[in-house]
Amino acid sequence: MIRRYAGRLVAASLALSGAAHAALPPGVETSITAAQTDGLQLVGLLAAMGAAIFLIAKVLRKFNIL
């Protein structure tokens, strides 16, 4: 019984929270978009560095250097 009502409560709160958006000034929207772009670029670079380090370590282990 609790699960049934909890599911309905979560669904109702998600439906109502999607409608509450405030209008932002254009400068703020531009800043947020720029920050999102920079953040995604940073995550991509970190993932690429991690993959490169993993592959270099794998090659060094293959040749018994590490």
Dump pLDDT digits (tens) for 13-63: 766 665 556 788 889 889 999 999 999 999 999 999 999 999 999 999 999
Verdict on whether the full-model pTM lies above 0.95: no
Average pLDDT value for residue range 7-13? 72
Q: Which residue has the tokens 């049934």?
A: 4
What single DSSP character describes residue 46?
Answer: H
Q: Residue 66: what pLDDT?
A: 80
More confident residue, 36 or 2: 36
User: What residue segments make up the domains of the chain, in order of their start?
Assistant: 22-66
Tell me, what amino acid is at 34? A
Q: Residue 40: what pLDDT?
A: 96
CB 33 within 8 A of CB 24: no
What sign results for the dihedral spanned by CA atoms 10, 19, 32, 28?
negative
